[in-house]
């Protein structure tokens, strides 16, 4: 588990991926551009017109390497999946407990507790780093922090699943209502009024949605690796084509990983307004160069190490998804008393 399994992102249009021994080979116009040993990969994500040989698909399935297809602009299209790994008894237990409203409410409560705690930490860090500067309304951000603290206190008690969902919605609204205060550079080029998606209507939401898509891919792969069904969640209920459990676990990582990465890209000027295009429909998309910058930054962030308080050791951020998947599997097997969400400190 110490080894960080990276994700290979292929964005070059017309690229063809094939198997060569134990290696993934990327060809563009019949010229080999890259060779990657399969054992170093945890997933492959193909953007747009990228093809894979059937033999590589089977090889990825055999090795447990997730293979996902996205549109050129990052919209999820499909995923190739091999035989389900893991103990069938674990999955049966997952299905039984997902049907238990009391268990689902308790599990959802812990997930949202982690999300709200991490959201509050993002705001507190921003106040610490930029609170004395004129461009931040510290009173607004401070009020949001206090409201999130109130939600955390309430989530410490048992709640019905619908009540937990209500708290999650209110907390997300509170958090994003001051998210613009955390953008300290290029504010005119990256305005943010509210969270919107399908499609994203501004540059910030475009970045958020894109990185959330990458995050879902990695978490889904981690869940499949330990034998859990990524489609059957506790907070996100069953819906055809939706990876409910992957979306559940992603909630803990949205503020800490995705949102902070978006802020870093903007505030450090690694992305600029010229890298975004508004379509006739109103949707905002990234150009190819900006998308590559974001992918590289995401991979770099995954390589950073962070302390995990429950297992009491440092791990790479990219391995955190697997740690949480293993902890959830242990909880379902009743090897531990509860599910410990990842809380950033």
| CA–CA gap between residue 341 and residue 226 (Å, rounded) | 17
pLDDT for residue 218: 87
Range from 47-61, 180-194, 261-275 that averages highest in pLDDT: 261-275
Does the pLDDT of residue 186 top 80, yes or no? yes
Least confident of 12-26, 112-126, 153-167: 153-167
CA-wise closest residue to 260 among 298, 306, 309: 298
pLDDT, one tens digit per residue, over 301-333 is: 988 888 888 888 888 888 888 889 889 999 998
Q: Is the pLDDT of residue 5 over 70?
A: no
User: Which residue is listed with tokens 């409203």?
Assistant: 101
User: pLDDT > 70: what percent of the chain?
Assistant: 95
Confidence of residue 217 (pLDDT cuts 50, 70, 90): confident
* pLDDT band, very low/low/confident/very high, at 268 (cuts 50, 70, 90): very high
What digits encode the pLDDT tens for the residues 131-142? 666 677 888 988
pTM of the model: 0.81
For position 308, what pLDDT does the model report? 85
**pLDDT above 80: residue 86:** no
Q: How far is CA 3 from the centre of its chain?
A: 19
Tell me if 6-80 shares its fold with 90-332: no
Q: Given this model, what pLDDT does residue 4 score?
A: 44
Nearest in space to 174 (alpha carbons), one of 132, 146, 199: 146
Q: What is the pLDDT of residue 1?
A: 30
Structure tokens at 262: 């978006």
| pLDDT tens readout for residues 11-65 | 788 999 999 999 999 998 888 888 989 888 877 888 888 999 999 998 888 887 8
Characterize the bridge pairing of strands 41-47 and 284-286: unpaired
> What value does the mean pLDDT take over residues 182-190?
88
Q: What average pLDDT does range 240-250 have in this prediction?
A: 89
CATH for 6-80 (3.100.10.20, 3.40.50.1110, 3.30.9.10, 3.40.50.10160): 3.100.10.20
CATH of span 90-332: 1.20.120.920
CA distance 11 to 71: 10
Reported confidence tier of residue 225, pLDDT bands at 50, 70, 90: confident
Task: Share the mean pLDDT of the chain.
Answer: 87
pLDDT at 2 exceeding the cut of 60 = no
What pLDDT does residue 74 have? 67
Q: Is the pLDDT of residue 78 over 90?
A: no
Give the pairing type, strands 51-52 and 16-20: parallel
pLDDT for 202-215, tens place per residue? Answer: 999 999 999 999 89
> How does DSSP classify residue 271?
S
Mean pLDDT of 166-176: 91
Contact criterion met (CB below 8 Å) for 72 and 13: yes
| Residue whose tokens read 């959802």 | 108
Each domain of the chain, given as residue ranges in start order, spans 6-80, 90-332
Residue 73's pLDDT is what? 65
Mean pLDDT of 219-224: 85
């Amino acid at each position: 588990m110490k080894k960080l399994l990276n994700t290979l992102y292929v964005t070059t249009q017309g690229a063809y991926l094939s198997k060569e021994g134990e290696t993934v080979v990327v060809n563009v116009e019949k010229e080999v551009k890259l060779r990657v040993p399969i054992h170093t990969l945890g997933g492959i994500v193909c953007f747009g017109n990228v093809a894979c040989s059937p033999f590589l698909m089977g090889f990825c399935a055999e090795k447990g390497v997730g293979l996902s297809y996205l549109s050129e602009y990052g919209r999820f299209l499909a995923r190739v999946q091999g035989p389900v790994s893991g103990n069938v008894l674990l999955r049966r237990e997952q299905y039984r407990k997902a049907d238990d409203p009391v268990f689902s409410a308790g599990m959802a409560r812990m997930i949202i507790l982690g999300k709200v705690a991490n959201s509050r930490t993002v705001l507190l860090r921003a106040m610490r780093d930029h609170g004395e500067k004129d461009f931040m309304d510290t009173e607004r951000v401070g009020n949001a922090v206090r409201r999130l603290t109130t939600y955390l206190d309430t989530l410490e008690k048992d709640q019905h699943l619908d009540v937990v969902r209500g708290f999650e919605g209110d907390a997300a609204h509170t958090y994003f209502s001051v998210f613009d205060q955390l953008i300290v550079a290029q504010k005119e080029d990256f305005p943010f009024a509210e969270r919107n998606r399908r499609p994203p209507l501004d540059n910030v939401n475009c970045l958020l949605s894109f990185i959330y898509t990458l995050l879902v891919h990695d978490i889904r792969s981690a869940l499949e690796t330990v034998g859990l069904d990524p489609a059957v969640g506790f907070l996100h209920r069953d819906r055809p084509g939706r990876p409910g459990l992957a979306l559940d676990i992603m909630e803990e990582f949205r503020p800490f990983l995705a949102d902070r990465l978006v802020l870093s890209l903007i505030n450090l000027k690694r992305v600029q307004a010229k890298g975004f295009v508004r379509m006739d429909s109103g949707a905002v998309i990234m150009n190819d160069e900006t998308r590559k910058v974001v992918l590289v930054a995401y991979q770099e962030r995954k390589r950073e190490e962070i302390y995990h308080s429950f297992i009491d050791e440092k791990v790479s951020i990219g391995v955190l998804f697997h740690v949480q998947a293993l902890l959830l599997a242990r909880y379902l097997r009743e090897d531990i008393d509860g599910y410990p969400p990842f809380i950033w400190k």
